[in-house]
Structure 1
Amino acid sequence: MYPPVEPTNSPQTEDAADAPPPGPFDAYEFVSNDAMPHARILANAPHDGAPVHVPYELGFLAYIRGFHRGNVGSPDHPRFEANYANTHRLFIELMTALPEILAVAVFSTVEIFAVGYERLMATLQAATLRPQSSVPAWTIPRRTDPTEDPEYDSDNDHIPNIRLVQSGRIGRPVHLVTLRNVEPLIDLYAVLGIPLSYPIQNFMANIFATCRCILKFPTPKYQSTTISTLPFELVSMITSHLPRPDVAKLASTSSTLRSSILPTMLRRAVFTMRVNEEAIRAKRRIGLNERAALVSATYDAVCDFRRSVSDFIDHRDYTAHVREADVVNQWIDLYPGYHRSAPPSLLNSSIYAMAFAAICDLLSKTRIRNLRVRGFGITYHVLDSICRMGTISAARFDRCFPVVATKGGYDISHDLLRIVRTGIASAHAIRNLDATMWSVTQLTLGFGIEHGTWDRNWNLISLCPMLRSLHCYKSDARGAFNFPPAGMYPTVNLANIVDLIFDNCSSRMSGLIDCSVVSTFLTGRWERLKIRGAIAIQEHDARLLASYLEEHQPNLRVLVLEGVRKVPVSLLETLAVSCPKLVALGLSRRDRDTSPYDNCCLWDAPIQAYAAVLCQFDFIEHFTGNFLWQPSDEDLDRPHTYPIVDAPSIVLHEQRAESSADGDIVSDDLISDPSPWDHGVARIHSNLHSHMRWSPITLTYVFQEKARTLKSLAVKSEYYEFRVRVWEGYNGRVFFDDVHDPEDDPDHQSWNPRTGTSWWAQGTE
């Protein structure tokens, strides 16, 4: 931690230098030895210098004072003994390097400090003559300087300091330290790593305070207040506000806190059925064929999975506190689509019965609120367990293979059940199972490459009659998932869900509209809708969606469309009529790194035209656009129709004007950057790059001047992204602030969550 300091011999203390250096635990004997060179510091005690931050390299001096005053360490852990020995070793090394500094040091009395010290002694003597009964026992002395460190050994505890002065152990702390030659100090600072700006007065005063503390408290001790003495409510409050990694470290270092931390640490449990290719190859090497090796490896994995769940259930402390459970089948990542390969449909095999039984036991013995299942079959027994426990409010099924079920129980007309029929009694019991998940209000569905299971995944929506939030996404990066087929329109009720997110979905809005229209008898309940198309959403699809919203979903407040191919002014006018209560609107491209084609979102009119249309939204507060617009041939002949701003004309204040007047958002080199996806996509003409000189503040001002309710504007263009926040001061003036980290803006994510997350995951539910 600190470099060793070579002990030096001063010509004034040759006898003391010949003595063997004391050990690290003899700090008191070392300091109290009058023959040592530092006795000159104690006799000519330096006063505290000007308030200066103590360098990190001298932090061990505060640790020494803490050990001797009982403010550092804990008696129930041996690691503090090593820390104690290390800090005293560093202190001894520093003291043995002081003779060269003291040889050139001059101590002079400062009269102002001397007079102040005499007044302090007179005040303390008068206080000692007062009757003790006049001072309440509960009175706590107030510090003269609230900013000072209470653990620092200063003159706050005056009585012990004055006793040391009266006994001749130390002098009065009224001396000024100067050096006749600063080279020894520079050399010492270089060895210790202390900045040269640290004053010698503070350096000597810090050393003197440490020596004085050791003289007052010869025997080192640990702190008497430990975690075990704190009230239980205070411990619970501390642990509830700490992040999970800090809570884990705290639990591993203090046995007292483990009982309080246990509910926080065990809130989430993860159970994984682990299968790897090495286990399969080992089965093949002993003579099993491919089918037998897969079945044998799967059986071993299921047994381990069952054992881990059973061990967890056996601990009452675990099951009492867990509120989130993840159940993962690694087969889904090792062999995508394995349920249709050899051996046919491992999920239909009887070996999975133990895994399903383990999941049912886990649900029956816990009070889980959030369930995440990946790669497992969802049988009637699992659905019945979810229905019976009645505590799961959020469920996530990622690439699962649910049975074809109906509300209230078993549908014998389907022959694709992923359970094992063992007789008439079992079949009768299956008919009495209830597959309706009444408690689930938040549902997440992940669609994989197994197209044959998509319909059964959509059918889970019909099993959640109280569903409010739905998040559907494509679990892999290949292609897009389709909306429910026509045969499922009567059962999959999408119109009555409040919040919907479709990530990497098909760009054909007709599937979503048809499914919602069939199930809509009265006004729909949509309030927030986010659609992120896997490919470009064409203009006619966007207009179809706007027409449906106008007729059936008039209460929509948030609309986000990512991946729109073209945004004419007429589309915004249609949305203004279709969504009269819209508060937040986002029309932008997809992220460039996740969409290799159709990345541009074309705006075919000047920016002023879009700003004029935005005022038709009566309640609009947040708007996200792209503004990478494509001019027509007629616009090329009329340069003033382009949004060209050589310098911002709106001077909000001097700092903003200076920062935005001479800065382009995008350099000219990016305009000629070749397109990495489709070279047929029209690009901005080379002589029209000046529209990128619009500063974020000026651009936001143009929109806010038309739509007075606007509070934030975000632009996600092809090469840049920014967000500007609009707020009103106490005097009615409007101010504009740039968001320094636009990709991690909590205000923006409250209505437009990150890709792959839902609204309830953002904490806005």
Structure 2
Amino acid sequence: MECTSTVVDLLNDARARTLLRYASFHNQWEALFPLHTAIYAAEPLDNEVFGELFAAIAWLLFFTRLRHLRLSGVGLPRRLIPHISRHVTLERLTLESCILEPIMIGSLHPRLQMPNITSLTIGFGGTPRSNSMECWSVVLYCVNLRQLFVYPVEDNSIVHYPSSSLFDGMSHLHYLQKLHIQGGSSLLRPLASWIRHSGDKHARLSHGHLTHFKLNTVIGTTDDELSILLDALSTFHPNVRVLVLEGIVDTAPAVTRIAYEFPQLEGLTIVRKVDMFQKTVRLCQWDMPSYAIAQVLAALPRLQHFAANLDYTRLTFGPAAFNALAYPALDSVAHIRSAYADSIDAILYEHLFSPSRVKTAEEKATCLALIEKRDCYDSLLDGPSIARPFAVYCNSLTSFAIKTDRTAFSCHIRRDTHGNAVLYDVVDKDVAGGFEAWNPLHFETWMHLD
């Protein structure tokens, strides 16, 4: 195998062997030759085909100080587990389209525990032999898990939650700090039952340790399903600080419950879907006005970031622009300056609303420069207008965004010496906005816990 020879070359290089922290092994046969492998593909655990690869991985683990191991499209044989569990520095494990030996499925074997793995990522599906229910069994062996990220490998696939038969062995969910489920089922009762079961086993000791929770569902989730999940979360993990819910149908009851049951929230992102059948995320009207949402969120004293897929028209003039229109005599820039008391808005107003006026090249350049810098968009775009109620009602808020899969509008918020909210770094482009700490980008997750 070319892969094994690459590992040998790597191990012969002392400098590379010392510095290596991440290794990824990806079986590309099915992706490159789907028709051939559909007939002749070897089982990912076939020792005759993959035995050399498993031996190479074992040698790599023995001679390096890896922190993150990724396996894609290959099996996780029982023989590799001791090499993983004995590794001093290895703490992250990513398994994508992998399968387990039958003996590892459904029940925990103490000799196969991997107590050093604190961060686990599972990519479900991708091959006919990668069964999602079986892959959940990996969680059984990561007994000190602190961060879990799961997602479907294929588009439009769904992550189904673990069956109740695994709950006893997966009760360490209670001690997770970050849980991220991407592309999950909208039927949330099994997930709520898992949270409740693990909480019941450890409730006498303390509340759960969960600080970050993100759930993205493929289709819309009804309030009946969501309320059961929120009840389990608020009961056993009331100290959640960052909450992301993408795919809610009924936002009004959800926002109200969240505001009063998660008092420690610092970051909240809610993405609505108009019904249970919607898959594509887009901006949409919510079932409560934005100012009402802001009033409800005022109950969260620590909220620093809020994002939602509220629909808005970015070219609608905000209130400040209509203040300028209230002045009847606008024949000169000087009059606008004295009446409106803002030279930036005055020049921009003259540029936009008096096209017949002959402008000097210097004035035109000034207007264009102001527009390019967005120093005066605060008066002319509706984005800042939709952000203002949240900035006013939520005194601790420092950032706000309108987003779907990507960010459509964002701004930061600061307070002047009088305590008034001032919006800055206003961006109305389709960019990330720099808010990944509050909500990871699509099919990415939060940074690993140090």
Common fold: TM-score over 0.5:
yes
Change (3 A) 1:534 1:341: farther
Aligned partner of 2:184 among 493, 500, 505? 505
Aligned partner of 1:736 among 397, 406, 423? 423
Aligned partner of 2:433 among 742, 745, 760? 745
* Pairwise CA distance, 1:311: 2.4
- Look up the equivalent residue of 2:386 and give its one-letter code: L
* Pairwise CA distance, 1:658: 6.7
2:43 equivalent to 1:308: no
| Alignment partner, residue 267 of structure 2 | 584
Return the structure number with greater strand share.
2
Change (3 A) 1:512 1:654: farther
Superposed CA offset, 1:92-151 (max 9, x none)? xxxxxxxxxxxxxxxxxxxxxxxxxxxxxxxxxxxxxxxxxxxxxxxxxxxxxxxxxxxx
Distance 2:196 2:350 in 1: 53
2:124 equivalent to 1:447: yes
- Look up the equivalent residue of 2:214 and give its one-letter code: K
Any idea what SS the aligned residue of 2:268 has?
strand
Change (3 A) 1:507 1:596: closer
| Alignment partner, residue 20 of structure 2 | 322
Aligned partner of 1:614 among 281, 287, 297? 297
Select between 733-742 and 480-489 the one with higher mean Cα deviation: 733-742
Superposed CA offset, 1:585-632 (max 9, x none)? 101158xxxx85464654112222212111122221111122239xxx
* Pairwise CA distance, 1:661: 8.6
- The 8 Å contact of residues 436 and 464 in structure 1, kept in 2 or not, is answered as yes
Superposed CA offset, 1:558-593 (max 9, x none)? 11112222312x321111122111111101158xxx
Aligned partner of 1:483 among 161, 171, 177? 161
1:692-731 correspondence to structure 2 within 5 Å:
695-716=382-403, 721-729=408-416
Superposed CA offset, 1:510-550 (max 9, x none)? 12111121111312211101111111222222222221122
Select between 338-347 and 536-545 the one with higher mean Cα deviation: 338-347
Change (3 A) 1:398 1:513: same
Distance 1:388 1:659 in 2: 69
Gaps of 5+ in 1: 1-302, 412-432, 630-644, 664-692
- The 8 Å contact of residues 281 and 404 in structure 2, kept in 1 or not, is answered as no
What is the root-mean-square deviation of aligned Cα atoms in Å? 3.5
- Look up the equivalent residue of 1:551 and give its one-letter code: T
2:199 equivalent to 1:528: no
- Look up the equivalent residue of 2:162 and give its one-letter code: P
Distance 2:264 2:7 in 1: 49
Any idea what SS the aligned residue of 2:292 has?
helix
| Alignment partner, residue 247 of structure 2 | 563
- The 8 Å contact of residues 77 and 101 in structure 2, kept in 1 or not, is answered as yes
- The 8 Å contact of residues 317 and 382 in structure 2, kept in 1 or not, is answered as no
| Alignment partner, residue 22 of structure 1 | none
- Look up the equivalent residue of 1:504 and give its one-letter code: G
* Pairwise CA distance, 1:754: 0.8
1:82-97 correspondence to structure 2 within 5 Å:
none
Kindly indicate whether structure 1 or structure 2 has the higher relative contact order, using CA contacts under 8 Å at least 6 residues apart.
Answer: 2
TM-score (norm 2): 0.77
Aligned partner of 1:357 among 50, 55, 59? 55
Any idea what SS the aligned residue of 1:320 has?
helix
| Alignment partner, residue 363 of structure 2 | none
1:389-538 correspondence to structure 2 within 5 Å:
389-404=87-102, 434-449=111-126, 450=128, 453-493=131-171, 494-520=173-199, 521-522=202-203, 523-538=207-222
Any idea what SS the aligned residue of 1:492 has?
helix
- Look up the equivalent residue of 1:327 and give its one-letter code: F
| Alignment partner, residue 336 of structure 2 | none
| Alignment partner, residue 648 of structure 1 | 319
* Pairwise CA distance, 1:306: 2.2
| Alignment partner, residue 204 of structure 1 | none
Change (3 A) 1:619 1:655: farther
- Look up the equivalent residue of 1:724 and give its one-letter code: C
Gaps of 5+ in 2: 324-339, 352-379
* Pairwise CA distance, 1:743: 2.1
- Look up the equivalent residue of 1:459 and give its one-letter code: S
Distance 1:585 1:571 in 2: 12
- The 8 Å contact of residues 44 and 75 in structure 2, kept in 1 or not, is answered as no
- The 8 Å contact of residues 471 and 502 in structure 1, kept in 2 or not, is answered as yes
1:627-638 correspondence to structure 2 within 5 Å:
627-628=310-311
| Alignment partner, residue 354 of structure 2 | none
Change (3 A) 1:754 1:566: same
1:71-86 correspondence to structure 2 within 5 Å:
none
Change (3 A) 1:452 1:720: closer
Q: How many residues align?
A: 391
- The 8 Å contact of residues 405 and 459 in structure 1, kept in 2 or not, is answered as no
- Look up the equivalent residue of 2:118 and give its one-letter code: T
Distance 2:103 2:423 in 1: 54
- Look up the equivalent residue of 1:581 and give its one-letter code: Q
Any idea what SS the aligned residue of 1:743 has?
coil
* Pairwise CA distance, 1:460: 1.3
2:219 equivalent to 1:542: no
- The 8 Å contact of residues 303 and 396 in structure 2, kept in 1 or not, is answered as yes
- The 8 Å contact of residues 739 and 745 in structure 1, kept in 2 or not, is answered as no
- The 8 Å contact of residues 392 and 440 in structure 1, kept in 2 or not, is answered as yes
Change (3 A) 1:653 1:314: farther
- The 8 Å contact of residues 285 and 311 in structure 2, kept in 1 or not, is answered as yes
Any idea what SS the aligned residue of 2:217 has?
strand
- The 8 Å contact of residues 318 and 385 in structure 2, kept in 1 or not, is answered as no
